[in-house]
Structure 1
Amino acid sequence: MNSSSTATRPAITLTIAGSEATGGAGAQADLKTFQELNTYGIIALTCIVSFDPKDSWNHRFVPVDPQVISDQLEAVQACYAQSLDTVKLGMMGSPTTIDTVAAALGRQAWKNIVLDPVLICKGQEPGHALDTDEALKTNLLPLATFITPNHFEAEQLSGLTINDEQDLINAARKIHEISGAAVLAKGGVRIAGVDAVDVFYDGETLEVLRAKKIGNVAVSGAGCSLAAAITAELAKGATPLQAARTAKEFVTAGIHNRVSGATPFDALWQGGRR
């Protein structure tokens, strides 16, 4: 675009996340979501995850070198210093990666930091995974302006057991109390009933978002795409509640139009609304 153009420039959205080779989740899902919602998407990769078809499609996990992560973010932040104020944080994978990302975030001011708090990666040793979880809670949670925990993550962050809708509401309130961020706690298919229920709470407004369940099995990429959709809407100027509502509709349409492969789970299609 030359300097004389009058075209409207898109909002810039950055995801700092892992690659998921089949395209269903991770940075691939984020970038497709950003494109569908009319923002200019950028990726800084933290790790490479590839399912292993020889081992029941379990995760194979390879971290990106911290210097490479730092270099990616240096380039992004230098290039878009005047227009980048919104970022989504996905899978980090290690305490070192979290430290690297937190340092990069500290180099500038942010309007929106959306944290999808990916807590246990199945490709990690349990002890290492727990170290990563603690680093995330210590170094990234305080930076977040919006947090999107799933059922398991909401239990871990709140310290509460979630069995029903009221439990999910209590967890959303507790996570906001701990972090100060807006929260969309996702019940999904794990709360009994005909609806997939998510709870939004920002300290003032509490709203339960509902959509009819589409099957009873979680769909790959739903959580990533939900957080990415919130990120895109915030970057365009939506309020947190507006962003949550749009993201819920976006993900519901993507689940309706999901993609099947040889994996034992389907993947959300970010173009589902089309």
Structure 2
Amino acid sequence: MSHNTSSPAITLTIAGSEATGGAGAQADLKTFQELGVFGITALTCIVSFDPKDNWNHRFVPVEAQVISDQLEAIQQCYSGQLDTVKLGMMGTPATIDTVAAALKKQDWKNVVLDPVLICKGQEPGAALDTDQALKANLFPLATFVTPNHFEAESLSGMKITTVEDLKTAARKIHDESGAIVLAKGGVRLEGKDAIDIYYDGDQLEVLSAPKIGEVAVSGAGCSLAAAVAAELAKGTTPLDAARTAKAFVTEGIRNRVSSNAPFDALWQGGAAVQAG
């Protein structure tokens, strides 16, 4: 097999399908394509919002064996070429166990964890079990984590109301996990700017962009983590990956897509349009 030297970096996302296309594996693949990496996805669950029930989540897990089969095919196919993975929504403890087992079968340079802690559409007890499994089994494997405001509170065990709080939380999460942290304040902190905190144990950087609207946009978190993974797969430094991801998501929000759902979707093509 001849290897083309200019072939793209290979980037895997293990995530859920989100039927309306704004978030999840769909957002990840679009992000990978825009940033010039070869995107692969293994599906963990299928989510379809229910228009008859206030657009709440309908959640269907993919069987553990089927997840295992997908990862077996991917890892064998790209053995020696695949060293970057993004972890999105898992949804059940069984899924987390299956994914953790597959990840441990090889060495990874970059494991970007978007720690989706609450799966809407699940019973609170099941959601809690999933959170605990995620913290126990996937968190230790992560090299880079991208918690949102709620997840950063949960992982750091503290309330976050200010940018200073977010800095403290990012430090705590890093100290506990050893992972590089990009903690997202987004629209949830007061003020005119959407603030994210980057901390790698050495450097702390405040990434800031003017807020675009006051509501969270579907796909922003997924796309941010996917953009970080894509940049890391290309060999970018973690801080530059975070900066690129922030800019990418900001343009995606600026060029968002509205629909009949009560939320807008980020458009991953926004950054290219802005540059064009």
| TM, length-normalised to structure 2 | 0.97
Q: Deviations over 1:90-140 (max 9, x none)?
A: 000000000000000000000000000000011100000000000000000
Cα drift, residue 43 of structure 1:
0.3
Q: In structure 1, what is the Cα distance between the partners aligned to 2:208 and 2:215?
A: 17
Map of 1:12 onto structure 2: 10
Cα distance per residue 1:203-246 (max 9 Å; x no partner): 00000000000000000000000000000000000111010000
Give the structure 2 partner of residue 118 of structure 1. Answer: 116
Q: Which amino acid aligns with 2:245?
A: A
Aligned to 1:201: 199
Moved over 2 A (4+): none
**Structure 1: distance between partners of 2:147 and 2:153:** 9
Residue identity opposite 1:261 in structure 2: S
- How many Å apart are 1:6 and its aligned residue? 5.0
Instruction: Please provide the CA RMSD for this pair.
Output: 0.8
Q: Equivalent residue for 1:165?
A: 163
Instruction: State the distance in 1 between where 2:200 and 2:87 align.
Output: 19
State the one-letter code of the partner of 1:146: F
Tell me the distance in 2 between the aligned counterparts of 1:160 and 1:228.
Answer: 26
* Alignment of 1:250 onto 2:248: yes
How many angstroms apart in 1 are the aligned matches of 2:80 and 2:196?
A: 34
Aligned to 1:135: 133
Q: Secondary structure at the match of 1:9?
A: coil
CA drift of 1:273 comes to 1.1
Residues 41-85 of structure 1: CA distance to partner in whole angstroms, max 9, x if unpaired?
000000000000000000000000000000000000000001000
Aligned partner (choices 60, 66, 69) of residue 67 of structure 2: 69
> Counterpart of 1:200 in 2: which secondary structure?
strand
Query: Residue 195 of structure 2 aligns to a residue in which SS?
Result: strand
**Any gaps of 5 or more consecutive residues in structure 2?**
none
Structure 1 residues 202, 259: closer, same or farther in 2, change over 3 A? Answer: same
Determine the structure 2 residue equivalent to 1:217. Answer: 215
**Scaled by the length of structure 1, what TM-score is found?**
0.98
Displacement after TM superposition at 1:27 (Å): 0.2
SS in 2 for 1:197: strand
Q: Any residues of structure 2 matched to 1:62-101 within 5 Å, and which?
A: 62-101=60-99
Paired with 2:4 and 2:143, the residues of 1 have a C-alpha distance of: 32
Amino acid at match of 1:240: P
Give the whole-Å Cα distance in 2 for the aligned partners of 1:245 and 1:269. 18
CA distance in 1 between counterparts of 2:96 and 2:119 reads 14
Q: Structure 2 CA distance, aligned partners of 1:92 and 1:244?
A: 23
Instruction: Supply the distance in 1 between the matched residues of 2:271 and 2:148 (Cα, whole angstroms).
Output: 23
Distance in 1 of aligned mates of 2:119 and 2:92 = 10
Residue of structure 2 equivalent to 1:151:
149
3-state SS of paired residue (2:263): coil
